[in-house]
Structure 1
């Protein structure tokens, strides 16, 4: 379903002040491709205070933004109706940290971060209902639907901007636990392989190692070795799509339970031990909160199903 609106004039409030115009448009024009937004900026169709601006322009309070008529794809299923009681309870139980600016939860595997493609409610739609007074509630970053673990949501747009700046500057330490196929070497193994996204026929999105891709760095550290599998901690210095999954496969040790980049035989063996999902878990976050300078350290425990897989591997070993 598409919708097209006429010319709009938006007044920038204090919460939006300091945000880049391109990021502002990506939020306001949900469903419009990035390429289209940058084309609007290049052609001068988007104006601030009647003047042309480029993507790096940072909005000021009381700026007037002119947005031309543009067709928006309605990617998400309309969020009318109540969040199912079971999902609401699941997410409340998953809370790890909350203050007046930030939520951190241990996102369950199988729950999408946002609605769309037949999914009525993701994490963000659910929390907008669960926290109706947090008017600027937005995802700070994303996790794949099958990946569990630490996920940040900002309650204010000013907090969102500050946290995005922390991510850009590498001031957020994000570590993952992953079970990889085969016997990984001991110690730390850095992988610096550029990644490029591509769209396959049928719309499936894949990521591959390519010299012309975006610079990406992951450091794997082996924690435990089992027969045919290794538990590792992955520290990502960049946050590319499917980064850990593609970098581990590039090493020849794909994440177990990964149907996209993994090994069929290894996945089949682990299914017999009870692994029914991707074994990738965002287990810790560390950052200095930009609004208080306090250090926040959050860790998300592994779910029972993943713990049981490790116990069975240890028993078999």
Structure 2
């Protein structure tokens, strides 16, 4: 029999999720079978699996050493060269600026050196994450950006950090602002409200005024910061965060994002590639405001995080609009 004592850093998670992390190769069906058969007990009693763990709780695992070992795979941290900039960091939260071209998470088994790989190795080198000691927790990214979109990504360094950030995002306690360059001159601020649904067989979405079968409501506020020569620099306030939302909304307005290979204008994209070396959409997660943060993140309430424009974007803005554009 093995006894596990829950620590402060492990509390506030469901028993079943803890066990699936502890025995990271075990199936959910196996975990629940052991709970039903009382081979796993919670504070000496039969457990359902949905109990919320507290510091000091005990788990008794009546499993053989061989069985335990067969379901436990030691976590390793792969060496990964850091390509992100640090915007903000404390004991629980890390905010980074992701460059365009970098995957947030692996999409295929061969994908290496993704943003999460780099963040884990960064924390490992700092001594703030030791997989040999953290069998039930791995730091995690709490929001994501498309591969070819740059900007702010939040990570939880601790379980408390991950849970707090996820709750703040779910409860809309933070405001996200993007900068984008679009075709055409947009002279008034406005709002787009529509439904997005995935295109079958394509990594794209379609936009409609009706919900449809799988349509998801999407809301975008936009405000022009500068316009001339047939282009507009927009600040986007993302109210919902659906896949390709900004890019699809801009295309539907008749103002596609410059450099966007899925929803943009091929001729314009080619022109910006030749003139500026732009190889991805001009879309940047520039600002994040903890507007209504409470609970564990109340110390961040009112705080603003900023990610400077990438150099190629800055060069384009200065070339089209001059150096006097206020980016907020």
For the aligned pair, the TM-score class normalised by the smaller chain equals: 0.7 to 0.9
Q: Deviations over 1:172-230 (max 9, x none)?
A: 1110001111122322x111112223451xxx522222424122211011111122211
What's the TM-score once normalised by structure 2's chain length?
A: 0.72
Would you say 1:123 and 2:115 are equivalent positions? Answer: yes
Match of 2:12 among 15, 18, 29: 18
**Mean CA deviation greater in 207-216 or 295-304:** 207-216
Please state how far the C-alpha of 1:27 moved relative to its aligned partner.
7.7
Measured in 2, the distance between the counterparts of 1:186 and 1:26 equals 51
Unmatched segments (≥5 aa) in structure 2: 36-40, 62-74, 130-137, 323-328
In the alignment, the residues of structure 2 paired with residue 134 and residue 304 of structure 1 have an alpha-carbon distance, to the nearest angstrom, of: 31
**Cα RMSD after superposing both structures:** 3.8
- Gaps (5+ residues) in structure 1? 1-8, 67-77
Note if contact 1:177-1:282 (Cα within 8 Å) is conserved in structure 2. yes
| Deviation of 1:18 (Å) | 3.5
**193, 207, 214: which one aligns with 1:209:** 207
Structure 2 residue 161 is the aligned partner of structure 1 residue 150: no
d(CA) in 2 for partners of 1:23, 1:243? 31
> Match for residue 309 of structure 1?
316
CA contact 2:220–2:238 (8 Å) conserved in 1: yes
Distance in 1 separating the partners of 2:268 and 2:60: 54
User: Are 1:285 and 2:288 counterparts?
Assistant: yes
Q: Among 222, 238, 241, which residue is 1:239 paired with? A: 241
Residues 88-99 of structure 1: pairs in structure 2 closer than 5 A: 88=82, 90-91=83-84, 94-99=85-90
- Looking at structure 2, the residues matched to 220 and 23 of structure 1 have their Cα atoms a distance apart, in angstroms, of 40
- How far 1:266 moved relative to its partner? 2.5
1:134–1:156 CA contact under 8 A, matched in 2: no
Is the 1:11–1:65 Cα contact (8 Å) retained in structure 2? no
Offset at residue 30 of structure 1 (A) = 9.1
Q: TM-score, normalised by structure 1?
A: 0.74
Among candidates 94, 100, 111, match of residue 91 of structure 2? 100
Check whether the contact 2:78–2:117 (CA below 8 A) recurs between aligned residues: no
| Aligned pairs for 1:1-317 within 5 A | 14-19=8-13, 62=57, 81-83=78-80, 87-88=81-82, 90-91=83-84, 94-117=85-108, 118-132=110-124, 133-135=127-129, 136-187=138-189, 189-200=190-201, 204-210=202-208, 211=211, 212-274=214-276, 275-287=278-290, 288=293, 290-295=296-301, 296-314=303-321
Which secondary structure state, in structure 1, belongs to the residue aligned with residue 275 of structure 2? coil
Whether contact under 8 Å (2:256, 2:264) holds in the other structure is yes
Measured after TM superposition, the shift of residue 65 of structure 1 is 11
Residues 20 and 51 of structure 1: CA distance in aligned 2, closer, same or farther (over 3 Å): closer
- Report Cα offsets for 1:47-83 as digits up to 9, x if no partner: 69666678xx8665648699xxxxxxxxxxx976522
